[in-house]
Amino acid sequence: GNKHFPSSVLAKQVKTKPYFALTSWWTDAGIYKKSETDQDIQRLRNFYLNNGYINIGVGQPKVVFTHHRKSMTIVFPLQEGEQFRLGSLAISGNKLFSNKRLLKAVKLKPPMVFS
């Protein structure tokens, strides 16, 4: 389940979109495509990785039909894990530049989110 990001934020990460009568005829929104949901798994995974969740698990989407089978809900099972942050940064084996100079050039600074 998603505990660290609201469903509205995660929905923006995926290409699969709900049906909307005014535009779906043009955009194909609301049409189930397995290849697209497979790519959505990777999109969700990349989103979490970029936000420091290196142990993210995104399962195969579950398709749940309504009673009359006129519509469906697609659920992406998530296991978020913990967010990782950079604790410290050190440079070793350097002989050409000062460590201070090299550390200034590195964009990662503790406690930045690890991604």
- Using alpha carbons only, give the angle 23, 27, 28 rounded to the nearest 5 degrees: 105
Same domain, 114 and 59: no
**pTM to 2 decimal places:** 0.78
For residues 72 and 84, the answer to whether their CB atoms sit within 8 Å is no
> pLDDT tens across 72-98, in order?
889 999 999 999 998 888 888 988 998
Q: In the chain, how many domains are there?
A: 2
* Residue 26 is assigned to a structural domain of this protein: yes
Same domain, 54 and 18: yes
Same domain, 40 and 72: yes
Residue 99, amino acid: N
Average of per-residue pLDDT values in the chain = 87
For residues 32 and 74, the answer to whether their CB atoms sit within 8 Å is yes
Same domain, 105 and 64: no
Same domain, 91 and 60: no
Averaged pLDDT, 111-115: 86
Q: Provide CB contacts within 8 A for 24, sequence distance 6+.
A: 30, 31
What is the span of the domain harbouring residue 108? 85-115
* Residue 1 is assigned to a structural domain of this protein: no
* Residue 2 is assigned to a structural domain of this protein: no
- Among the listed ranges 1-15, 38-52, 56-70, which one has the minimum average pLDDT value? 56-70
| Other CB atoms within 10 A of residue 19 CB | 14
Same domain, 63 and 47: yes
Across 43-47, 88-92, 110-114, which has the greatest mean pLDDT? 43-47
> pLDDT tens across 46-61, in order?
999 999 999 999 999 9
- Indicate the SS3 state at residue 93: coil
Same domain, 92 and 77: no
Closest CA to 44 of 14, 16, 68: 14
